[in-house]
Amino acid sequence: MEFQIEKNSPVPFIKQIQEQIKLSIAMGVLKRGDILPPIREVEKQTGINRGQIHRAYLALYRSGLLSPAPGKRIAVAVSAAAPDSINKKCQQLSKDISKRVRQIGISPIAFGRYLSRHVQEDERRSPFIAYVDSDKETALRRAEQVSRLWHACVVGLSEEEFILALGHGSKLRKILVNHLYADNIRQVSRGKKVDIVPIEIYYTEHTIRALEKIRASSILLLLPDHAVSSARFIVEQLRKWMKCKEANISWMAISKVADFGLLLSDSEYDRILVSPGARKSVPGQLQRSSRLILLQMELDPIGLETARILAGVIL
């Protein structure tokens, strides 16, 4: 691919490179395995110093979009093209807008900047995308993370807030949710004009290290109510990281725990694991107990990029 760099644009060169790569992936021009131009070649083509080009590539590598290829090359790591119908509609809409603003004597590039500011303000008043979770704190944290990565406005809502928003005729259209919670959100939004976009989540390195150190024969897993139906699947995922494969793992809804102090002092379980959605129900003074492991999960970067396309954030 050839990069088109606007030297007089207020958009930094690094971001221009990143956005052109993202757009090429979104439009299907670049697919998994395609090789990007070497940094030296991009430097010669654009006149941008190789340090900035390297930082642009590195940021996309860390987000899961790019990966190493044989011969010290860089390849596209995902295929996440938007449906052809969306691509065609966007292309036609762009042409129509460009033609109309020229007719009224306005620079298309200048109007693009005006439109960007206008729609950003509109989305702040009436959000288009939300991240929904049973836990408000988790929803806000992940919405902030996605907003930062996508350069988009994503609000964080608890399930209760989401249901309330639907009942008040919210203009939300795209709902991001972790894949374990997706069926629950589909059920509560049935009949509403919203698209549910699941995103894969996985355990953090800190949690994996904690699981690998477990030497216990009896373990209790505490889950939020909505996750109990997926308990067997969650247990299977946990066993993959535990060296003690023969451990007996039981589970229960966190709402069934009447007294956490009593549960922690009970000798029935060697270790108690608490899933992220159940953490807020554990009293703060007990969260540091040596018998307790608070599981932590994070969004899969490759899954995030696919979700970005499905959520309509094509650039």
**Which CATH number fits the domain that encloses residue 307?**
3.40.50
Question: Do 181 and 292 reside in the same domain of the chain?
Answer: no
Q: Is residue 3 part of a domain?
A: no
Tens-place pLDDT, residues 115-171: 988 888 888 888 999 999 888 888 999 999 999 888 888 999 998 999 999 988 888
Name the residue among 1, 2, 6 with its Cα closest to residue 112.
6
CATH number of domain containing 47: 1.10.10.10
Question: Do 134 and 219 reside in the same domain of the chain?
Answer: no
Question: Do 162 and 276 reside in the same domain of the chain?
Answer: no
SS3 content of the chain, % helix, strand, coil (to 5): 50, 15, 35
In the prediction, which pLDDT does 107 show? 93
In the prediction, which pLDDT does 17 show? 92
As given in the structure block, the two tokens for residue 113 are 């900047």
Tens-place pLDDT, residues 165-183: 998 888 899 999 988 788 8
Q: Is residue 283 part of a domain?
A: yes
Q: Is residue 62 part of a domain?
A: yes
In the prediction, which pLDDT does 120 show? 83
In the prediction, which pLDDT does 54 show? 92
Tens-place pLDDT, residues 210-247: 999 888 789 999 998 878 888 888 888 888 888 877 78
Give the domain-ending residue among 122, 148, 180.
Answer: 122
Question: Do 261 and 244 reside in the same domain of the chain?
Answer: yes
Q: Is residue 7 part of a domain?
A: no
Question: Do 110 and 221 reside in the same domain of the chain?
Answer: no
Q: pLDDT-derived band of residue 82, with 50, 70 and 90 as boundaries? A: low
Considering the entire predicted model, what is its pTM? 0.68
Asked if residue 60 lies in contact with residue 54, where contact means CB atoms within 8 angstroms, the answer is: no
Higher pLDDT, 122 or 314: 122
Query: What CA–CA distance (Å, rounded) separates 99 from 139?
Result: 41
As given in the structure block, the two tokens for residue 33 are 């395995």
Question: Do 293 and 168 reside in the same domain of the chain?
Answer: no
Tens-place pLDDT, residues 239-274: 888 887 778 999 999 999 988 888 888 778 889 999
Pairing of strands 292-294, 174-178: unpaired
Question: Do 135 and 185 reside in the same domain of the chain?
Answer: yes
Tens-place pLDDT, residues 276-285: 888 888 888 8
Question: Do 225 and 246 reside in the same domain of the chain?
Answer: yes
Q: State the DSSP string of 150-182.
A: HTS-EEEEEHHHHHHHHHTT----EEEEETTTH
Question: Do 169 and 211 reside in the same domain of the chain?
Answer: no
Question: Do 308 and 159 reside in the same domain of the chain?
Answer: yes
Residue 109: is its pLDDT beyond 70? yes
Q: Is residue 6 part of a domain?
A: no
In the prediction, which pLDDT does 31 show? 86
Helix or strand or coil: residue 227?
Answer: helix
In the prediction, which pLDDT does 97 show? 94
In the prediction, which pLDDT does 80 show? 66
Domain count, the chain: 4
Q: Is residue 94 part of a domain?
A: yes
Of 29-43, 72-86, 119-133, 279-293, the one with minimum mean pLDDT is 72-86
As given in the structure block, the two tokens for residue 236 are 């299977």
Q: Is residue 1 part of a domain?
A: no
In the prediction, which pLDDT does 75 show? 92
In the prediction, which pLDDT does 183 show? 86
As given in the structure block, the two tokens for residue 164 are 């309330």
Q: Which residue has the tokens 């309509």?
A: 312
Asked if residue 40 lies in contact with residue 50, where contact means CB atoms within 8 angstroms, the answer is: yes
Residue 306: is its pLDDT beyond 80? no
Question: Do 172 and 100 reside in the same domain of the chain?
Answer: no
Q: Which domain holds residue 113?
A: 85-122
- Helices 13-26 and 301-310 cross at an angle (nearest 10°) of 70
Instruction: Give the pLDDT mean for 77-93.
Output: 75
Question: Do 178 and 143 reside in the same domain of the chain?
Answer: yes
